[in-house]
A and B are shown apart, each in its own frame.
Chain A
Amino acid sequence: MKQITIIDYGLGNLRSVQKGLEHAKASVNISIDPEDIENSDGVVLPGVGAFSDAMRNIEPFLDILYDYVESGKPLLGICLGHQMLMTNSEEGGMRDGLGFIPGNVVRFPHSKLKVPHMGWNSLHITQQHPIYEGIENDSYVYFVHSYYVSTDDGHTLASCEYGVEFAASVVNERGNVLGTQFHPEKSGEVGLRMLSNFVKMC
């Protein structure tokens, strides 16, 4: 059985991610102990709240997390976790991210559109990757965010349109660091399939 660690560095609902991964027959550990990452087959970086708080809270995990990614094992960032994978974010003043994937996190421009971007929106899958195996183009997934990731096509797996076209899902060159702006654990059957694909990668 694959051992997946969900990094618990903050607050909010981690139970749904856990149950979604267990649904895919993984053994899941919600952990506040950085040591747990070393022995994992896969790591999930969730996230709610503000970028700078999250970056501060994850500090104790950093060295082990960089080593872990270096080893080639898969890391999945969800929502704020997806944004944290990038070079930097303008949320609350310019802040450095984890830098696994080149790109920036910027706020939706003021317009007639509601912010946060909240609800079910369709995905345009732009690049094939094992995590999208069996997922149809234009599938609907659940988003809730006020900032979005801007990166190049090479690092984008799927995009989404909300006033602007943004990177709904990202990947690093090696293919082992993945991010989804949407919540797979809240995206019904489509999301469960993605979590199951992730477990298969581990």
Chain B
Amino acid sequence: MLTKRIIPCLDVTLDEAGGTVVKGVEFLDLRKAGDPVELAKRYNEQGADELVFLDITASHEGRDTMIDVIQRTANEVFIPLTVGGGIGSVERIREILRAGADKVSINTAAVKNPELVREGAQIFGSQCIVVAIDCKRNSDIENNPDKTLIELGDGSKVWYEVVVYGGRKRTGIDAVQWAKKVEELGAGEILLTSMDRDGTYDGFDLPITRKLSEELEIPIIASGGVGGPEHMQEGFVKGKADAGLAASIFHFGEYTVNDVKKHLREKNVPVRP
């Protein structure tokens, strides 16, 4: 049986000495805490089904060292690796896949230039093009008659707006329509992050997760808001997601990937042992 995937996400940046570090990691001893490769190995041992590296440096130095991190990780960790952050050209996609990543995650660049999704899928195959969609709830439905209305738990209705630049800029684009469009363009998977939930520990934004899971043929990775194993369960059962992504709960050492999987198994959600 196809299992639900648990995916730890590592935000990779540079420290003052120019070395690569993962933001917000607290459970390893200090010497190793920041090393992306060490952390990737650790999560692999814990039973992670895939890994996501997000390059948050936004600098040329960062881009080069990211390639080195991907190569070193691919030398030692034999599970799928997705790399995102600042990917804006076919050349960059090629570079990242060549270094040993299996998929790239495209976010702002896809909104600015949807053709990048089509080109990337044509050249490298849909399976390696993940489109990351960041969205925010928008309750102004009167002035937006063309948007997809989604009912929330309390009966009120909103539409979900695509946001870019880490949530700082609204786009006016309807998240459901955008997801359908990138599926048509050839995306192989959607990484959905609700900015209303990101960092809250309140759990995934279930209404939009479920809507996209039901409307699209490609898999949905739910992201943003996980505070514990029960949130992963909700994302899979109520949100119908195919995979769940989390960062902080793993980085703080509160839960291992195995803890989350144990909980899911007890609730009859299929996961890989």
Q: Chain A residues in contact with chain B, CB under 8 A?
A: 11-13, 15-16, 19-20, 48-50, 80, 110, 114-122, 140, 142, 144-146, 161-162, 183, 185-189, 191-192
Q: Is B24 in contact with chain A by the CB < 8 A criterion?
A: no
Stretch at the interface among B125-133, B157-165, B172-180, B251-259: B125-133
B134 contacts A by Cβ under 8 Å: no
* CB-based contact A118/B127 at 8 Å: yes
B5 touches A114 (CB 8 A): no
- Given A16-B74, A119-B243, decide whether A48 and B124 contact each other with a Cβ distance below 8 A: yes
B273 contacts partner chain A, Cβ-Cβ < 8 Å: yes
The CA of A186 and the CA of B82, in the complex, are separated in Å by 12
Name the B residues within 8 Å of A191 (CB-CB).
78
Most buried by B among A120, A140, A161, A192: A120
A-B pair number, CB within 8 angstroms:
101
Asked if residues A120 and B217 are in contact (CB atoms below 8 Å), the reply is: no
Instruction: Determine which of B74, B242, B272 lies in contact with A15 in the assembled complex, contact meaning CB atoms within 8 Å.
Output: B74
In the assembly, what is the distance between CA of A114 and CA of B272, in Å?
18
In the complex, which residues of chain A have a beta carbon less than 8 angstroms from the beta carbon of B188? 116, 118, 144
Do the beta carbons of B79 and A15 come within 8 Å of each other? Answer: no
28 residue pairs A–B, Cβ–Cβ below 8 Å: A11-B94, A11-B124, A12-B128, A13-B100, A15-B74, A16-B74, A16-B78, A16-B102, A19-B75, A48-B127, A49-B125, A50-B125, A115-B217, A115-B218, A116-B126, A118-B188, A118-B189, A118-B219, A119-B5, A120-B2, A142-B79, A142-B80, A144-B127, A145-B127, A186-B78, A187-B78, A188-B79, A189-B78
CB distance from A160 to the nearest CB of B (A): 9
